[in-house]
A and B are shown apart, each in its own frame.
Chain A
Amino acid sequence: MHEIHEGAAFRLTSGSLLFNVRNLFFRYSNDIPALFGVNADISPGDRIALVGKNGSGKTTLIKLLCGLLAPEDGEVRYKGKPLAGQRLEQARLELGVLFQDPDDQLFMHTVIEDAAFGPGQQGKSQKEAQLAAIKALHQVGLEKMAYKAPHNLSFGQKKRAALAGLLAMNPEVLLLDEPTANLDPNQEQVFLDLLKNFTGTLICISHDLIFLYELCDRAVVIDQGRIHHDYTLRELVSQRHTLREHGLDFSFRLVMTPSAPDPDSEVIENTLSQSAPASEKTEDPPIVELHGFQYRYPDGTLALQNVTFSIRKGERISIVGENGAGKSTLLSCLVGLLQGKGDYRFAGKTVTRKECKRLWRRVGIVFQDCADQLFCSSVKEELAFGLHRLGYSRSETEPRVCRALSMVRLEGFEDRVPLHLSGGERKRLALACVLIMEPELLILDEPTAGLDPQGEELLLNILYNLDVTLVLVSHDVFFMKELTRRTLVMHQGKILEDLPIQTFMQDDRLGDLNGLSYMYRLRSSRDIRILQHEHEHSHPHTHLHTHPHRHENLVHEHTHAHEHDHPHRFVHRHPGEEKKHDHMPRRYHHHDHSDHDRESHDHSHENNNTDK
């Protein structure tokens, strides 16, 4: 077990503490404990990133902090008093909690009524509450939607409306549970700006360490119900081994940074290998061919217009665009859930109404929320569902089920209940359900939504090794870059660009045009990469350490400083090329100094610490 250090750096004067959590223990009705022995101090103005694997107890901790759950043992003190009774009611009006699903939070009839709910509970008059609500809606940029019903908003708008409901209460503390999951980069930027300007205390759960890096100073790492680390976020991101240990290593994402546009040999090779077969076998029709395709919603709005593109067999393409650009509608058309107007050919054949209903045999799709896709009571049944529809017998399905499970690394899960699996496992199960049908075209809609970095990396590896024609819809530039070669940029139902991924990555203008601002991510990634920079090097440096040494007859031990030159493996930054090294603070290292104690040195033994 590695060392666990808690709160040492942050144990401040306890008089002004906001939260004081002591020895917290909690378990859900019949399960294993969700939290045990959690200690933490939170001071006003702290900006805390709460990180950990899926199911590590982060959400539970947040619920305990705002008094939605009562601890089984231990205590949460808020402003010096236990969180109960009067104090709890006061706390609820001062804390703002943003839950994962905005639909849970928008329970009133219109957006403005919802925003005014909190102030109303705070005892404000109707007029004041209304004003506070309008102000908050203005902050999140939804003043134009004030009287709209929440179910008519897009996902991003709902998320912002939910935040407005909290901001209207003018909270001292914001507790955020994955605030930016599934948001397009543009909306994420809105959140980031708002939260950066928020002056109170901030506690934020997220798997997106790059986002957290921009926002928070302090990192609290939870694993299996315990706090394992509590230190600065800069330290956390710089220690790859710690990240890896807690399933948080997102460093695989940092390998990119297209800021260094190196049109290396690989890229050239790719473009060559892509163009060559195209000219070679023109008789082989593309697997998907859309020409002048359009789709109109039943209510009349044009969701897709004049969409033209084609996908060749074995090609891997990605589709990007803001929330509501028409990506999901396009996918629904591709799998035959919706039928639009215009020319759609699948493997050379025009897709008619009749053909549309049979497309599911050839196209597989993994939805953004796998809860929409998994509905059986055992994993085996789930996988066999599609096969039975195709008329396979029981003996035929068995080996296929095993193969599909091993493909997604879920061996031995046959009899588990899909609903009881973790988020990452469910995602992979949904993928297996699609793969078992051996689709000619695989479509993934936001595959990384809600996964922790470990789950992401596993999924990435699985997808990387699949031999299939792939369409990936994602806001996640890294995934796009790793898995696909070509990108379609969508905006307001049209395809703006169709270009190689490398070109897309380097095109700043395009990012702005489409409102997809990836810039802060690039900047933060670069910062973190510098923090994580690690290699062996040697340079003279000063040590402080103790060891026994001899002076003639005298043997004694004391701390002293050395300067010597030897190689080190060390996380450090390079402010410039091969210039001076700047180590992170609080970094200790141990190494042997053989025969050091015999080295001659002289110092006066009156003041014990000047050695050479």
Chain B
Amino acid sequence: MVHISLWYLPLLVLLPLTVLAIIAVWLRRVAHRQSIAEEEPDWSVPALGDEEGGISPLHRWDVRCKIVTILGFSFVIASLGHLGPALTAVGISLIVSVISKVSLARVLFRLLALTGFLGMLVVVMPFTVPTHSGDTLVIFGNTDWLCLNLRGLLLSATISARAVAIALLMEPLFSTAPLPVTLHGLCRLGVPEMASQSVLLSYRYVHVFRHEARRMSAGMQVRGFRKRTDIQTLRTVAYFLGMLFVRSFERTERVFEAMRARGYRGRFPEPVELRMRTMDILMASVWLVAAAVLITYDRILF
């Protein structure tokens, strides 16, 4: 048990929070700058090359292998119980991200999305974890209702490391092949074809509806609507939602009609043929080894 005076409390809580906030702001700034720097690609060719033209080993990897391996690896990471192995996993994920040459901006945006939930864990857990024998407690002044349990801090740090490690793998998993190809790979693994087509359709119309929503909110703004914490705002937001639903349900019918008019009868064309080669298997086994090492490190060395 460590006793320190009460005035350290704000310091100990606020300091990490400020640092986190500054990092988050900085990440956002960098991410924005990165996303601007990207120049208009040549749209007359497929965005990502075929097997031969792939820009990294992950691009050339057979999607089915990639999905199974990375998903499995993610579950292995999720099962790690200690901070050391979890941080090692973060390292591995970082290396993979670098190898697969994914866009820095997108990786940063993904990490930013984690800050909310993980921030809550990091702040709440050290104070709420029940005290076991052997825990190191930091007690502020002579209050007995508030003590910081280092085990809780360690636990939340481990969770954060696991989350970051898995999040870092998402870009290499999803953006090293066009989305239709990845989803087709999923189908070949037993996911119903319709499910993957639905994801594609949703993905497409998320963009359409976002534009629609943006135009509608512009329409509200020019008529003086500003969001505040009051009932009027809630009512207007509700109208906005209502309009959004009405328009999108109508669009849903129109889209379906347009599909049927072009001969849709419940089936989509297959995007690509997939081929599995020994390279793919080899790559998968490299990951398998990495996973085994991580588990061993986690279970035996601790």
Contacts and interface: CB of A to CB of B under 8 A. Distances in A.
Contact of B224 (A107, A121, A386): A386
A96 to B, nearest CB: 8
B208 A126 contact: no
B262 A389 contact: no
A169 interface: yes
Interface string B234-264: 0010011011001100010011011111111
Interface string B135-176: 000000000000000000000000000000000000000000
A146 interface: yes
Interface stretch (B13-21, B108-116, B215-223, B284-292): B215-223
B179 A109 contact: yes
Give the interface residue-count category, chain B.
Answer: 35 or more
B234 to A, nearest CB: 14
B179 to A, nearest CB: 6
Contacts of A419: 243, 246
A97 interface: yes
Interface string B199-213: 011011101100110
B265 A360 contact: no
A249 to B, nearest CB: 30
Given A116-B269, A126-B270, A360-B223, A151 B247 contact: no
Nearest to B223: A386
Contacts of B205: 107
Interface string A96-112: 01010101111111100
A331 to B, nearest CB: 10
Contacts of A367: 215, 218-219
Nearest to B44: A144
Contacts of A433: 223
Interface string A364-407: 11010101110111000000011011100000000000000000
A147 interface: yes
Interface string A494-505: 000000000000
A305 to B, nearest CB: 17
Nearest to A105: B258
A146 B216 contact: no
Interface in A350-369: 357, 360-361, 363-365, 367, 369
Contacts of B265: 89, 121
A256 B201 CA distance: 47
A389 B223 contact: yes
Nearest to B232: A388
A371 B220 CA distance: 11
With most chain A CB atoms within 10 A of its CB, the pick from B46, B211, B212, B255 is: B255
A437 B225 CA distance: 14
Contacts of A365: 222
Contacts of B268: 117
A68 interface: yes
Interface in A466-523: none
Chain A residues touching B, range: 35 or more
Contacts of B224: 360-361, 385-386, 389-390
Nearest to A99: B258
Nearest to A94: B263
Contacts of B261: 66, 68, 92, 95, 97
A45 B226 CA distance: 56
A120 interface: yes
A156 B230 CA distance: 41
Contacts of A93: 263
A63 interface: yes
B84 interface: no
Contacts of A361: 224
A194 to B, nearest CB: 18
B263 A372 contact: no
Contacts of B43: 144-148
B220 A375 contact: yes
B35 interface: yes
A89 B267 CA distance: 14
A491 B251 CA distance: 33
Contact of A337 (B180, B218, B236, B259): B218
Nearest to A443: B222
Contact of B239 (A116, A360, A375): A375
B257 to A, nearest CB: 5
Nearest to A66: B261
Contacts of A337: 218, 221-222
B47 interface: yes
A118 B263 contact: yes
A109 B203 contact: yes
Nearest to B48: A147
Contacts of B222: 335-337, 360, 363-365
Contacts of A89: 263, 265
A375 B258 contact: no
A63 B258 CA distance: 10
Contacts of A165: 262
B271 interface: yes
B44 A104 contact: no
B218 A332 contact: yes
Nearest to A364: B222
B216 A151 contact: no
Nearest to A381: B239
5 contacts: A109-B200, A148-B43, A151-B207, A332-B218, A371-B243
Interface of A: 63, 66, 68, 89, 92-93, 95, 97, 99, 101, 103-110, 113, 116-118, 120-122, 126, 129, 143-151, 165-166, 169, 298-300, 332, 335-337, 357, 360-361, 363-365, 367, 369, 371-373, 375-377, 385-386, 388-390, 419, 433, 437
Given A101-B251, A151-B211, 8 more contacts: A92-B260, A113-B271, A117-B262, A121-B262, A298-B36, A372-B216, A372-B219, A389-B225
What are the 9 A-B residue pairs with the smallest beta carbon separation, nearest first? A121-B263, A389-B224, A120-B269, A151-B207, A373-B219, A300-B36, A148-B43, A104-B254, A372-B215
